[in-house]
Structure 1
Amino acid sequence: MDHTAIDLTQVLPARIQGVGTSQIGMVADRGRDDPEVVKLWIGEGDLPTPPFVVEAAHRAMLAGETRYTYSRGIPALHQALSDYHRRHWGVEVAPERFAITAGGMNAIMQACQALLEPGEEVIIPVPGWPNLGEAVRVTGGVPVTVPYRQSADGRFTLPLADILAAVTPRTRIIVVNSPSNPTGWVMPMAEMEALMAAARERGLWIISDEVYNHFTYGNAIAPSFLQISTPSDRLIVTNTFSKNWAMTGWRAGWIVYPQGLAATFGKLGQYNTTSIPTFIQHAAVTALEEGDDFIRTMVGRCAEARAIMVEGLSRLKGVTVFPPEGAFYLMARVETGEKSLDLAFRLLREAKVGVAPGTAFGPEGEGFIRICFAISPELAREAVARLARVLG
């Protein structure tokens, strides 16, 4: 018998072999355990989970909420989510249209599992969060990218005509991430309405990733597709507790699906995770019911750090900064002649600042770095000073 070692990755399905390696993870893994590094690579703020959420989880554990529960989540959390959407967007979403997921990533994955047949196409704007395209690949779909454009003042834009030009007979889904990671683009309500009308006409689904809705830097939060849809529209909205309430490690998110699909997402929840921990769901209820002030604190800190970073980095030689309308990321073009990944490694080594290479979000991000500014003003000033010593 031939016992010659073989590379077993080569016998895996093609859709799994084709899954990309996260460049953000590549950079982060080199400096994750270095306490001197200012870590701005991952979409995570520097505030801990607020005590009132932690205490709610502790109370729930002490009360015995440590057992299996409903695969779509506990009814109290469905009701709290319904109330939350009414309070912030003025929409009525029935509690039975929510399912609780293991973070926003699992929400995206379940949406793709529910909707995609092998070989069907999914339109994704780029540069974009890489997990969106990889979830499509893992579930057998084909990502079709549509590049953002940049206006004369450097703002990122996404003309509706560009999205619709990418539609083919194989198109199944259009993904919208507004406010966008990493560009900070925010889709205006009028364009949402036009896209919804086009999707209805063509029988297409929209997956709207609305994780950063509260993080805008004007007078109002970003609009939601739920404001312009009916319960029977082919719309799935995904979200997470990670950003608003500093709960990244808790792995709690939610999905909003059309009326009549509760049983479908109950089964998907069952076979993906069974459910997320019951005591975490009770803590999530508390986050929704008592956490609006914390969200305002988070957004206020981001606004201040954003201003510091835009002003400071725009002074550096060869650096062009594009102030984002929303989310908490800064896309900066840095002209050093290096590849974005090489530059990210050098900034980690020489400046002790961890950033994400632009190519982590697709080849369209070459020449850029992405900086997370969900940090204190003091840390933002320190990061700018360190980057200035290397790039200035």
Structure 2
Amino acid sequence: MPLGHIRPAVAGIEEQQILAVSKLALGDPSVIALWYGESDLPTDPALRRPAIDSLNAGETFYTHKRGLPEFTDALAAYMTGLHAKPVAANRVTLTQSGMSAIMLIFQMILDPGDNAVIVSPVWPNAQSVVRALAGTPRFVALDNNDAQGWHLDMEKIRAQCDGRTRAIFVNSPNNPTGWVMPPEQLAEMLEFARERGIWIVADEVYNRMVYDGRAAPSFLDIAGPDDPVLVVNSFSKSWAMTGWRMGWITHPAELGELLGNLIEFNYSCVPVFLQRGGMAAVQHGEQAVATMIDHCRAGRAICDRRLPSLPHVTGYRSPTASFYGFFHIPGTEDRTLQICQDLVRAAKVGIAPGTAFGPGAEGWYRLCFAQSPDRLEEAFDRLQIGLGAI
């Protein structure tokens, strides 16, 4: 029996390449998986406990679409303490993950045929959301050289924007490169967005994952409350809460009702018991953040020592933010995915292909070093053998 109509924009979405690697190891605990952006640390018990208590208290009903008022108040206070400009609670909307925050934003601002300019390499789902909504992603690849490392040419951003450009999507600190957008460039991009009436969609989910200072430079340090800036954040990385699926958007206050309507149509609300854990994170979770950063700092030290000595590896720079080792193997540009798949089968170690992250990353590879030392050392031992055989 033939299927009914499927929108071409959805039917044409290709399988995510990290999934194309990871599905080879389903049910195989012997594989050391470094392909996802996820630590092996479980959520701190002090953050889990309020969620458990909430469930035991029977808080299992519908709640406010945009988050409990006491939670949005807590998020506003958290960001006000973190950044140079105050954030009011009516500018905060809780979402069911950073991913759903990005989807809600593009549902709100993108019509079919519009385009979004995306700084790449970048997390694959950003471009997929644009394509799923019948928009067109336009990529601006970060430049990379020995003198400057990874860096953005703003002239390339300007050149890609036209009358159908609705957003510039920028992820800083960046997944996968670890690039951090400097304050002067944040200001330059904000001024351009103001002039052109283009939204900046800033994915700042790694803003606490920095190894010098409390947070990375943010658009929230410089943007006014009515600027065309939509900042996405998440509980996943800083507090080791990937499975909780909670994030939030900081936005102009007048968008709150629109976002609330979209939430109602997408998932209604974030469960109360999850929100209790999130509130504990932003109000009492600084020790959990410090533990996570220390865990990643130890992983980065192992990565700095082991990764550059692996067979064929070039291009690795110790990241100042995020928790990824990003490296190049020259001559593999046309078989990046295949090499990752072969490493799963032969070496029982999983890394992500750079081709998953958009143009400019062919022949590059990403691994997550937010892992325990023993696990990471064993992974590098396996990569030593596996990469030696390519």
State TM-score, norm by structure 1. Answer: 0.95
User: 1:164 corresponds to which residue?
Assistant: 158
Aligned partner (choices 376, 382, 389) of residue 380 of structure 1: 376
Letter in 1 for 2:181: M
User: 2:198 corresponds to which residue?
Assistant: 204
Letter in 2 for 1:322: R
Letter in 1 for 2:326: M
Cα distance in 2 for partners of 1:128, 1:310 equals 22
Question: Which aligned pairs between 1:91-110 and structure 2 lie closer than 5 A?
Answer: 91-110=85-104
- 1:153 positional shift: 4.9
User: 2:68 corresponds to which residue?
Assistant: 74
Question: Which aligned pairs between 1:1-392 and structure 2 lie closer than 5 A?
Answer: 5-6=1-2, 8=3, 11-153=5-147, 155-320=149-314, 321-335=316-330, 337=332, 339-392=335-388
Cα distance in 2 for partners of 1:257, 1:141 equals 22
Cα distance in 2 for partners of 1:381, 1:339 equals 26
Percent identity, aligned pairs only, is 41
Letter in 2 for 1:61: L
Deviates more, 1:11-20 or 1:351-360: 11-20
Cα distance in 2 for partners of 1:154, 1:41 equals 27
Show structure 1 runs of 4+ deviating over 3 A. 335-338
Cα distance in 1 for partners of 2:138, 2:106 equals 14
Letter in 1 for 2:364: F
- 1:363 positional shift: 4.2
Per the alignment, do residues 174 and 143 of structure 1 end up closer, same or farther by CA in structure 2, a change over 3 Å counting?
Answer: same
> CA contact under 8 A between 2:84 and 2:222: conserved in structure 1?
no
- 1:288 positional shift: 1.1
> CA contact under 8 A between 1:348 and 1:354: conserved in structure 2?
yes
Letter in 2 for 1:96: N
- 1:92 positional shift: 1.2
Cα distance in 2 for partners of 1:269, 1:341 equals 35
SS of the residue corresponding to residue 27 of structure 2 reads: coil
Letter in 1 for 2:34: L
Cα distance in 2 for partners of 1:313, 1:283 equals 36
Count of residue correspondences? 386
> CA contact under 8 A between 1:46 and 1:376: conserved in structure 2?
yes
SS of the residue corresponding to residue 254 of structure 2 reads: coil
> CA contact under 8 A between 1:54 and 1:283: conserved in structure 2?
yes
Cα distance in 2 for partners of 1:310, 1:349 equals 26
Cα distance in 2 for partners of 1:272, 1:375 equals 34
Per the alignment, do residues 15 and 127 of structure 1 end up closer, same or farther by CA in structure 2, a change over 3 Å counting?
Answer: same
Cα distance in 1 for partners of 2:327, 2:349 equals 14
Query: Unpaired segments of 5 or more residues in structure 2?
Result: none
- 1:253 positional shift: 0.9
SS of the residue corresponding to residue 211 of structure 2 reads: coil
> CA contact under 8 A between 1:47 and 1:375: conserved in structure 2?
yes
> CA contact under 8 A between 1:82 and 1:93: conserved in structure 2?
yes
Cα distance in 2 for partners of 1:107, 1:234 equals 16
SS of the residue corresponding to residue 260 of structure 1 reads: helix
State TM-score, norm by structure 2. Answer: 0.95
SS of the residue corresponding to residue 156 of structure 1 reads: strand
> CA contact under 8 A between 1:57 and 1:280: conserved in structure 2?
yes
Cα distance in 2 for partners of 1:342, 1:154 equals 31
Deviates more, 1:149-158 or 1:39-48: 149-158
> CA contact under 8 A between 2:144 and 2:151: conserved in structure 1?
yes
> CA contact under 8 A between 1:333 and 1:367: conserved in structure 2?
yes
> CA contact under 8 A between 1:154 and 1:322: conserved in structure 2?
no
Cα distance in 1 for partners of 2:383, 2:268 equals 45
Deviates more, 1:289-298 or 1:219-228: 219-228
> CA contact under 8 A between 2:112 and 2:134: conserved in structure 1?
yes
SS of the residue corresponding to residue 104 of structure 2 reads: helix
Letter in 2 for 1:176: V
